[in-house]
Structure 1
């Protein structure tokens, strides 16, 4: 039982990180109708910016306090991600309003490869470390209930708590603030929102900026866990099945979908993987997404489209 709970908790913590990245996809799709394949590249770009700024800024200013250096590096990386979001909207997607979906898809793919290459040109292509002070030693929980307790990674636990707090903050932002309500209005009907004075271009910049902030937080967490390297953009793409499972337009769906996939891939790898030689964790999420596309293409919480003839 203790081993099962260890696996379950590990899956929930991984799932929360998937949910965080998936929210970036959902936000942009809800506001602009663009399925942003560049979200993974944004995570890598943000992580590279944070890693390099955390080296450059303290060295340039003579700062020895690591916390202050990380705060300044985070602020600088956030400015960079907002600038990237603004440029993407102004120079690319703002010019492609009302174009075919395939055109927008190819645009985001182009942005993906540009950010991958430009990020490594600007910040370097080595493997960098991000040290934000998250403890890496495991701890044992419930040792009075289970013999030996349940082994939990402190780093994963901190990361899951941060991701959960950010997800909750974004949910409150969309529900309680005027800007959040404007974003939801744009998501429901672009033309109706524009007719009552909501500026679409400003809303899209805000959405991309929020997605950039989400990418930065996700990049810091994953970069702290795995190191900042090219594979981060591939890890971020694990959020694609999450979005398909939860629904392209649903923030709660992104959360639930992330938890389902996080738990499912861990449990399947541990309990089913040995029967097939392992490796299930790599493809589990994509097979589950394929099943949903065949059975329920709108996802668990997505809006079902009804064509009247």
Structure 2
């Protein structure tokens, strides 16, 4: 195949003022895209704001000649999300690709987490993805084309200590992806999620320097560019990516075991006695929708 290009396409990237988002912006722009660089310019914990981060990236992207514009709105409000997408529409007339990348961290154990901590993290990661996706989806539906990449996390997918709000939000992002898949596929709007591990301000004090050196943000961009391209036909998938490693992960359902019917009572003792069969993941498969999960129950009706 030829080189994947984004000539005449408009890409909106949230949280693009540094780290992975900045790497995305450079990668898309170097392949012909016009880029909206959104960044509130706040600190990692969600406090503060400044325009310098987004402006710096826009200046860097000038070398590619495709066009770039900064946006400084917070993703965490409906009006902010609408203004982000309006920036793309006002300057470039359309939106072809949305990368939901903005994020903050306030890591605390469950009992130490305050309502303010919870709301800030969930608002940026989950509500923020909704607030930007909704107006972008409307434009994509109108144009009959769109690619959306959501950012989940291994913490949400598999669990971690001291990140209750972050984990809940990152699993919520997967649910939002499924909604876009269900409603967008017939309009040629595809949505996938990535779970990246890369050196950024989110991880710079979490891992040793020698590890961070191998986790360049640029190692994440090839997968994102492919998923955002016209070549891609996959939707509703979740991918791990780090240090040049790429892997699909999935929420699966196993056949399980039917141990009763509507004619008699099922006891908790029977659950105990059949626990191995009930919890086995043998022959587990990913499902395309909740309707598919019912196919394991067909023998009951």
Structure showing greater relative contact order (alpha-carbon pairs closer than 8 Å, 6 or more residues apart): 1
Judge same fold: TM > 0.5, yes or no: no
Q: Scaled by the length of structure 2, what TM-score is found?
A: 0.28
Relative to its length, the structure with more strand (as a share) is 2
Q: Scaled by the length of structure 1, what TM-score is found?
A: 0.27
The structure number with the bigger radius of gyration is: 2
Relative to its length, the structure with more helix (as a share) is 1
